[in-house]
Chain A
């Protein structure tokens, strides 16, 4: 299904800060048969990249950028029912992100992609202490830990998180996946920080995890 016009309408709604129009645009596309994964990859994600570009070129204020982020978070929550439609496959993922609330959209999208595939996902929010992450992995017998990072300056925190998990009693049984813009720019960095693999986007994350956890 072609989603170009949906993208334009959605971006227009973000530009004008109109949550209702944004939500209606996405709901209409779903009602017309759009795959929710395509909506994420071809509408929500590129729209948020465009918002970032608009801020960088001084066409959006920080307030507009924050509002666009909040609207997209809200839209994703409202259509979440479409995400949890598949039966569980017996796989569990714990997900977190480093770097604050503004940067949690990416890992939310990744989490939703896994849920669509039938994974049980426990999203912990941003900047969780390593001990809490380890507890969640243990409590839910997680197969996979997903860590997202948005800023280059936070990559070292990811390494610290991975070191703490590896050194813990759950370190040997959980696979660790990382992703985010700074890692996309340095494709070998995931090895240096101790992850098992990295993913370029949400779709790639599910594919990689499926291959690694055969």
Chain B
């Protein structure tokens, strides 16, 4: 199976397609993969593209690939890749052993912007939690003032009587 044959599969047209050899060196890539990861990915190990947090997971993924028999397909993995402009790509990896070339790796190239959505939701959550913290702080200050006012009132009442 070649890259051309892979890209003919319409259902894969919005995914990154990488054809790698046994050491996960990228031999062929579709247009979306080149656009997303840069032309430099060709003839380089895919592992080099994993973000530091995904290095351990990437190594485990390669080990799993090497354990599989030719007929087996890998389960889906999620790995973070370093991409141009500092963004990290959420990528689902699956595939099987290719007869002559090694591995076919396919992953979502963020067609739905899911990675951005995660970060937006996380940023909103941080805003919310920051507000909750500010409210707690205000509440503490107000409680303290109310306490002092009550004490003042008590002293005043004692003097008055």
Contacts and interface: CB of A to CB of B under 8 A. Distances in A.
Nearest to A85: B140
Nearest to B141: A84
B52 A81 contact: no
Contacts of B22: none
Given A58-B75, A153-B52, A80 B125 contact: no
Interface in B77-123: 77-78, 80, 82, 90, 115, 118-119, 121-123
Contacts of B71: none
A107 B121 CA distance: 20
Contacts, number: 71
Is chain B's interface secondary structure helix, strand, loop, or mixed overall?
helix
A101 B119 contact: yes
B142 interface: no
Interface in A79-116: 80-81, 84-85, 100-102, 104
A192 to B, nearest CB: 18
A140 interface: no
Contact of B56 (A56, A69, A70, A182): A56
A105 to B, nearest CB: 10
B126 interface: yes
Contact of B57 (A56, A63, A78, A101): A56
B53 interface: yes
Contact of A73 (B53, B61, B126): B126
Contacts of B51: 151, 153
Given A62-B90, A78-B132, A101 B123 contact: yes
B60 interface: yes
Contact of A70 (B78, B90, B125): B125
Interface residues of A, number: 29
Contacts of A66: 118, 121-122
A84 B121 CA distance: 27
Contacts of B133: 77, 80
B129 interface: yes
Interface centre among B78, B80, B128, B139 (most CB of A within 10 A): B78
A84 B90 contact: no
Is chain A's interface secondary structure helix, strand, loop, or mixed overall?
helix
B140 A84 contact: yes
B137 interface: yes
Interface string A22-44: 00000000000000000000000
A69 B80 CA distance: 17
A76 B56 contact: no
Given A66-B121, A73-B126, A55 B136 contact: no
Contacts of B82: 153
A182 B51 CA distance: 14
Interface of B: 51-53, 56-57, 60-61, 75, 77-78, 80, 82, 90, 115, 118-119, 121-123, 125-126, 128-130, 132-133, 136-137, 139-140
Given A58-B77, A84-B140, 5 more contacts: A55-B57, A58-B57, A58-B75, A62-B80, A80-B137
Interface of A: 52, 55-58, 61-63, 66, 69-70, 73-74, 76-78, 80-81, 84-85, 100-102, 104, 125, 151-153, 182
20 contacts: A56-B56, A58-B60, A58-B61, A58-B75, A62-B115, A63-B118, A66-B122, A70-B121, A70-B122, A73-B125, A77-B133, A80-B132, A81-B140, A85-B140, A101-B119, A151-B51, A151-B52, A153-B51, A153-B82, A182-B52
